[in-house]
């Protein structure tokens, strides 16, 4: 996320170059909804020659409902399966629009990421900046914004080709999304809480039947010289998919469901049919394992507690390598601290998927299904003897054609070059992960950057390429934006957080996690994740972990086995 000062003349040329204003704005209210209206000029009898083709009526057999999406958000079973209703996940953001192709490196790494948008429109005597426009049935799954304390901005949602907005947020603050409806979302669905005005993030699903447009209007700031940073993650369904459109009636009718989902996100209670206990003592360099009960089941929670004569047991989390094999397929191999979502050092954590007391005890709540057999192994790579106690919660599971195995991989790299953030010509990308070999669903990651200075070295944009697409379906605006961080404080939320920040000014280790719920990314063959290395010129140490559900043969190409 870039905080640059761009001289007014240059800024004006950049923005005006992208500006598109409708020249045929009506002076009267739009015609009734039962008459077909031009989306561009707003008149029944189009005068601008831009009248779109009529949209086909959705005829698909499945209805994607607001209630069903809420239920999916907290369904561990559905998380383990490839989507039944075909969709692709995308991200709209405010990234620098000069970044068009990697064949043009100097522009590919451009970094003025607060100025990207679609166009300006005149609407009912308002000047609105279009930040999102999609012409397919879909669902918005995450909106992240930075407000910098500015509340004098209005956000408007236009669903299914409507001329006037059907939903309005009277502040550039997503904590105000439900307005005066009486529906409270809670800290599980909107963050980071009322004590922070620097930014906000919304996870409430927003479905629409045929199309959606989102605009912002500046009430007091100059719309041409005000930067706005945003991410909008969304699902794109087939044209014939049946998706119901978000409305106040839907929101109010599902008030109790929203409350229960929020509670489930904040206070997870994994399904448990049986529990398997194991305790072992591992000497330095030793590896031991245990078999889980056979049959079709799923691990719903793994609790691990370490004790040792060492002075700092938490540091030993990095020295225990966890391996998990399901139906003869080893799909998990990484340090316990990474599996537990805390990253290097094993700090305190509390979220939907992870809990850690920061002293050597932690819980992992990724559902891990298997058809007939499963095995967990621990390897001690420290010089200390370590006692490892495990409690494995098992749940019944119905394996079907959509079921996938849980995968987790990790890598570390020292002395990675970070380029000065506006040294565009010498920009480059670090391979965050390369997953290939079959279908899967990308569900989360952890990233630690150890910086030698007090400047933020996470300015680089993320770029996620799915199934060989020509342009990344996810083009971001910086590490802190990807992880919904947005500045200078530690927090732990169900979807994202920062369990470790060594110093307020970023020197030392900075650990971030993200768990994807409705914003999970399905892929049929491959998912490539690149991360620009931009910040202040220096060498940093990096570590990352990726989580996905996939066919047994899917692999993270650039994350080799640890070898113990």
Q: pLDDT tens, 425-476?
A: 899 999 999 999 999 999 999 999 999 999 889 999 999 999 999 999 999 9
Place 238 in a pLDDT band, splitting at 50, 70 and 90. Answer: very high
Q: Please count the CA atoms within 13 angstroms of the CA of 351 that sit on its side-chain side.
A: 28
**Cα–Cα distance for residue pair 476/230, rounded to 1 Å:** 9
Q: Is 269-403's fold the same as 405-564's?
A: yes
Evaluate if residue 229 carries a pLDDT over 60.
yes
pLDDT of residue 10: 35
Mean pLDDT of 372-391: 95
Residue-wise DSSP of 100-149:
--TTSHHHHT---TTS--SEEEEETTEEEEEEEEE-SSEEEEEEEEE-TT
Give the pLDDT confidence of 336-375 residue by residue, as tens digits: 999 999 888 878 888 999 999 988 899 999 999 999 999 9
pLDDT of residue 221: 81
Mean pLDDT of 482-495: 77
CATH number listed for the domain at residues 269-403? 2.60.120.1390
Distances (CA, A) of 306 to 107, 287, 303, 387: 49, 15, 10, 6
Write down the mean pLDDT value for the chain. Answer: 87
Give the pLDDT confidence of 254-263 residue by residue, as tens digits: 999 999 999 9
pLDDT of residue 220: 85
Enumerate the domain spans of the chain.
8-266, 269-403, 405-564
Place 57 in a pLDDT band, splitting at 50, 70 and 90. Answer: low
Evaluate if residue 385 carries a pLDDT over 90.
yes
Mean pLDDT of 292-300: 98
Q: 458 near 510, Cβ under 8 Å?
A: yes
Mean pLDDT of 324-335: 97
Evaluate if residue 6 carries a pLDDT over 90.
no
Evaluate if residue 335 carries a pLDDT over 60.
yes
Instruction: Provide, rounded to the nearest whole percent, the portion of the chain with pLDDT above 90.
Output: 68
Q: Is 91 or 500 the better-scoring residue by pLDDT?
A: 91
Give the pLDDT confidence of 99-112 residue by residue, as tens digits: 999 999 889 999 88
First to last CA, the chain: 39
**Cα–Cα distance for residue pair 31/284, rounded to 1 Å:** 77
- Give just the sign of the alpha carbon dihedral 222, 228, 234, 237: positive
pLDDT of residue 28: 37
Q: Which region among 114-128, 311-325, 476-490 has the lowest average model confidence (pLDDT)?
A: 476-490
Task: Give Cβ neighbours of residue 68 (< 8 Å, ≥ 6 apart).
Answer: none
Exposure pattern of 167-178 as b/e (b: 16+ CB <10 Å)?
Answer: bebebbbbbbbb
pLDDT of residue 492: 84
Place 172 in a pLDDT band, splitting at 50, 70 and 90. Answer: confident
Domain 8-266: CATH class, spelled out: mainly beta
Superfamily of domain 405-564: Protein of unknown function DUF2961 (2.60.120.1390)
Evaluate if residue 129 carries a pLDDT over 90.
yes
Closest CA to 322 of 357, 358, 368: 368
Evaluate if residue 29 carries a pLDDT over 50.
no
Evaluate if residue 8 carries a pLDDT over 50.
no
pLDDT of residue 99: 95
Structure tokens, 481: 């934006």
Q: What are phi and psi for residue 487, nearest 5 degrees?
A: 110, 115
């Amino acid at each position: 996320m870039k905080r640059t000062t761009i001289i007014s003349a240059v800024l004006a040329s950049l923005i005006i170059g992208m500006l598109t204003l409708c020249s045929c704005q009506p002076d009267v209210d739009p015609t009734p909804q039962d008459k077909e209206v031009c989306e561009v000029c707003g008149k029944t009898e189009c005068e601008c020659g831009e009248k779109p083709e009529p949209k086909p009526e959705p005829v698909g057999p499945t209805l994607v409902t607001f209630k069903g999406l809420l239920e999916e958000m907290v369904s561990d079973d559905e998380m383990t399966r490839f989507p039944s209703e075909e969709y692709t996940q995308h991200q709209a953001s405010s990234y620098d629009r000069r970044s068009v192709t990697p064949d043009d490196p100097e522009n590919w790494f451009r970094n003025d990421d607060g100025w990207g948008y679609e166009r300006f429109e005149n609407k009912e005597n308002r000047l609105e900046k279009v930040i999102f426009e999609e012409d397919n049935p879909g669902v918005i799954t995450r909106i992240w914004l930075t407000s910098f304390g500015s509340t004098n901005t209005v956000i408007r949602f236009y669903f299914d080709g409507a001329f006037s907005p059907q939903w309005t947020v009277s502040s550039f603050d997503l904590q105000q999304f439900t307005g005066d409806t009486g529906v409270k979302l809670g800290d599980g669905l909107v963050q980071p809480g009322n004590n922070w005005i620097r930014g906000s993030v919304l996870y409430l699903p927003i479905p629409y039947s045929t199309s959606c447009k989102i605009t912002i209007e500046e009430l007091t700031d100059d719309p041409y010289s005000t930067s706005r940073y945003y991410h909008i993650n969304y699902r794109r369904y087939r044209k014939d998919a049946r998706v119901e459109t978000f409305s106040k009636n839907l929101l109010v009718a599902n008030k109790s469901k929203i409350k229960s989902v929020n509670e489930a996100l904040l206070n997870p209670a994994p399904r448990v049919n049986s529990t398997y206990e194991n305790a072992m003592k591992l000497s330095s360099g030793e590896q031991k394992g245990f078999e889980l009960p056979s049959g079709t089941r799923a691990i719903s929670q793994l609790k691990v507690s370490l004790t040792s004569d060492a002075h700092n047991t938490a540091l030993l989390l990095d020295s225990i390598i966890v391996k998990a094999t399901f139906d003869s397929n080893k799909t998990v191999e990484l340090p316990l601290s990474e599996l537990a979502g805390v990253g290097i050092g094993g700090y305190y954590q509390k979220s939907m998927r992870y809990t850690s007391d920061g002293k050597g005890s932690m819980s992992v709540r990724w559902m891990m299904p298997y058809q007939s057999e499963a095995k967990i192994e621990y390897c001690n790579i420290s010089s200390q003897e370590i006692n490892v106690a495990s409690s494995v919660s098992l749940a019944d599971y119905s394996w079907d054609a959509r079921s996938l195995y849980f995968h987790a991989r990790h890598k570390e790299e020292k002395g990675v070059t970070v380029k000065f953030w506006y040294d565009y010509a010498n920009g480059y990308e670090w391979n965050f992960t390369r997953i290939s070999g079959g279908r899967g669903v990308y569900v989360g990651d952890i990233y630690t950057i150890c910086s030698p200075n007090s400047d933020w070295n996470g300015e680089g944009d993320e770029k996620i390429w799915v199934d060989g697409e020509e342009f990344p379906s996810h083009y971001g605006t910086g590490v802190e934006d990807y992880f919904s961080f947005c500045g200078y404080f530690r927090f732990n939320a169900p979807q994202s957080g920062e369990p470790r920040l060594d110093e307020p000014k970023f020197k030392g280790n900075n650990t971030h996690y993200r768990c994807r719920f409705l914003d999970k990314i399905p892929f049929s063959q491959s998912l490539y994740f690149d991360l620009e290395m931009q910040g202040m010129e220096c060498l940093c140490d990096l570590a990352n972990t990726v989580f996905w559900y996939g066919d047994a043969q899917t692999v993270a190409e650039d994350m080799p086995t640890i070898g113990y």
